[in-house]
Structure 1
């Protein structure tokens, strides 16, 4: 995120580099930076002549460099944005040409690459040269332990206040898709004004997360072996699959019980050390301590197998594809009775 902040500051201050190569596994920050380039670099009357957007799958480095060597019309700068740059193929001959351009870029051109979902190969000469010239900017995945804090900061950026645990609820339900989280918070502009409090009721009504029936609550019920509540939540979520996509729920439970397995291997360490090793907020360690009482290491490991089985069933891979409501109930039953069931 630090790298992207440098890029945004550069745009805001109108202090431009000739090349920005944005790359990394987190597409959200790359999209944010790209949008700012599109909207905030050139004046509206300059964009028609001096702003060009191309896509990686439809072009190549030769064509991009040819555009970059042109000069702006009726202005001081031209902006070239290469979206989906991860689709570009860098041939050896093009690599040499790109390296030459990196060492002598056209100062009147701002060349932006949006290389999403993966990092540029650090072993390549081009990557090393981009790093040396300080043209390379990383957008890394946010850690799960930092997600609730990030959501809290985004809520504050929108000018809202947050009720206790709302950021944790959103983190559990929406996962680490930052674009989705930002979109959901942006929708609240229609119902909230600056200074209003974002509470569970608003989340339930406008984001579709029930404060009582969501993956966060199901996870807690399973972790404490509250059978009646777990089945009640599972049934509700299965009947409201649009608000509770099965793949997201399977992913969340897989992560929780995988972290529980790791917790077992770290018992004896301090809570802060365990939290750091697992990659969660220290507040969550008590949840694992409680779950560990009901699910020793052997059972927690077996639960991972059950969740994998449910994932296959949800996709119809090698088994009969099941409806979401069936999967929710069967998965809940098997987890709660993991000490009695037979693992295939």
Structure 2
């Protein structure tokens, strides 16, 4: 949800809207916003009289609006939160009642709807009124290709230092469940010592991802041209496609070899400058220096072309009857032998 940071800031500053209607496919952002309104707006002694939490399956829009029209007791604001609002019935009568309220909301009421897993119908007048009043907030899913970046941004927000490609590793093994990712990062934030860098070993120890068979270890094997280890990992990953999505593995490898290219173009510059360009901790520059010995600029660029080729194959273009397991093994074989195999640019 793009507006989430502003919403949280405004709640903290006690600057709230009369209506918040959260809707969309991603429940994680909705949960964060609703939790802030539930726990961080009213003072504890105000909540007993001026805060009501209801659930869609147990109430109706008419009952909710009736509560919303009441005035707060011993305070300036009351908060009414409707969780699982997607379970509320919205027929013609309910729509008309909502339209009337949304046109003239009660200023002393903060009315919150958590409408999860689907969007409101944009054609309906109710939706248009919410949008016009700037009361409507869409919570969209993070696309798979943006998931690693979202995790990296969350680590940055939480001040968690990470080894290269850890965000891709977490994205690949935790999947697109943002609530689970958020919980795991929250645990790691507590566990990690000040200044400690989150690497593959810590991920394995605290999240349970196998260190031996993951894309992080595959990168290490490829980076050192360890053909036996790389093919072994590729075989295992191909046998477990659910835990090793081909598209996520490609994204991780693309990021890894892009950094090798950056290193090749900056040889002779300071580790800090190179690390800044890569967006990594300077400590890990030496790993890319080692990988660059096996993948000079010409070969690293050729690997990027190969990854693009296999991205198309993964989408069914030029790879008839090849499943992910076959694609992974063929890709790893080509990268290991990139100095011998010419690829299309």
TM over 0.5: yes
Q: Secondary structure at the match of 2:52?
A: strand
Aligned to 1:332: 325
CA contact (8 A) 1:57 1:87 kept: yes
Q: List alignment gaps of at least 5 residues for structure 1.
A: 239-243, 258-283, 308-330, 338-344
CA contact (8 A) 2:171 2:248 kept: no
CA contact (8 A) 1:72 1:108 kept: yes
CA RMSD after TM alignment: 3.6
Aligned to 2:341: none
Aligned to 2:150: 150
How many correspondences in the alignment?
280
Partners of 1:92 and 1:19 lie apart in 2 by 21
Aligned to 1:290: 306
109 and 286 in structure 1: CA distance in 2 versus 1, 3 angstrom threshold: farther
Aligned to 1:90: 90
Q: Secondary structure at the match of 2:89?
A: coil
After superposition, give the CA deviation of every residue in 1:52-104 in whole Å (9 maximum; x if it has no partner): 11111221111111111111122111111111112222110111011000111
Aligned to 2:101: 101
26 and 227 in structure 1: CA distance in 2 versus 1, 3 angstrom threshold: farther
167 and 235 in structure 1: CA distance in 2 versus 1, 3 angstrom threshold: closer
Partners of 2:182 and 2:28 lie apart in 1 by 9
CA contact (8 A) 2:172 2:243 kept: no
Aligned to 1:31: 31
Aligned to 1:276: none
Q: Secondary structure at the match of 2:3?
A: helix
Deviation, 1:214, is 2.2
Aligned to 1:68: 68
Aligned to 1:139: 139
Aligned to 1:189: 189
Partners of 2:189 and 2:19 lie apart in 1 by 35
Q: Secondary structure at the match of 1:179?
A: helix
After superposition, give the CA deviation of every residue in 1:170-227 in whole Å (9 maximum; x if it has no partner): 12222222211111111113421343211121111111223431266679999x9x78
Q: List alignment gaps of at least 5 residues for structure 2.
A: 251-299, 331-345
Partners of 2:125 and 2:43 lie apart in 1 by 35
Listed as ranges, the matches of 1:194-343 within 5 Å are: 194-214=194-214, 229-232=230-233, 234-235=235-236, 247-249=242-244, 252-253=245-246, 289-291=305-307, 297=313, 300=316, 332=325
